[in-house]
Amino acid sequence: MAEDILDEYGKLYCLGDIVHNDEEVERLTKKGLVTISHDQLPELRGERVLIRAHGEPPETYKMALENDIELIDASCPVVLKLQNRVKEAYDDEGKESPVYIYGKHGHAEVKALMGQTKGDAVVFQDIAELDLDHMPSRITLFSQTTKDTRNLYKIRDTMVSKGIQVDFNDTICRQVSNRDLQLREFVKNFDKIIFVSGTKSSNGKVLYGVCKEFNPNSWFVSDPQEIQKEWFSENDTVGVCGATSTPLWLMEEVKGLIEGL
């Protein structure tokens, strides 16, 4: 969507990094993409602004209307569905069953989810942050779409074991969880694994953890120039994989660099 608009108009604002991959952001910046922060949004008038896949809270849409900003909404459909479910749960049961969100503090997707609850949801990225002995007797549990599936179910089971009634919602994106399962098999087929991802990608951190668990000879790189010849031995087989936000051209560049070592 961003490229189509840039090809037509030569300029487009984006609210935050379009993806958590510095190389892809740099490529699009050269085409005319201007990344802005939420603090800069109120300064714009009559511009086109892209909402990235992570989604935005209701306040962003309200401000756009007030400032005559045309929003290009590229929110992920899975994220939009989750936003709606969180809002419905909060509106219907928010007092009797407070909303808890398993997610990364400060993450754009989580901020958008918080906006659906007027900031009332409890966000935690580790169950150790919660005082389980003094939690409400009943809660509604959601998850950021890119968190680890196994951890989410462990969290639910731990809460239930403490006598908490959990209205449980598995909101993990299957594009991520299925890749988790595929990676487990993929990495076993190679001597060495190079995982390509932006350092800001939550999804990348989760999937790299999978690579490392099932093939200890795995390395994380965000830039092809980080690859070191010393990682490889003669006749090694090497698997190259990446996060959902990793562009194919970048993985192909990594492949070519390794073949040229």
Q: Which active-site residues does the annotation give?
A: 109
Of the CA atoms within 13 Å of residue 110, those in its CB half-sphere come to: 20
DSSP 92: H
The rounded distance, in Å, linking the Cα atoms of 130 and 193 is 36
Tell me the torsion sign for CA atoms 180, 182, 188, 193: negative
Say if CB 195 and CB 221 are below 8 A apart.
yes
Q: Collapsing DSSP states into helix, strand and coil, what is residue 241? A: strand
Q: Using CB atoms within 10 A of its CB, is residue 92 exposed (0-12), middle (13-18) or buried (19+)?
A: exposed
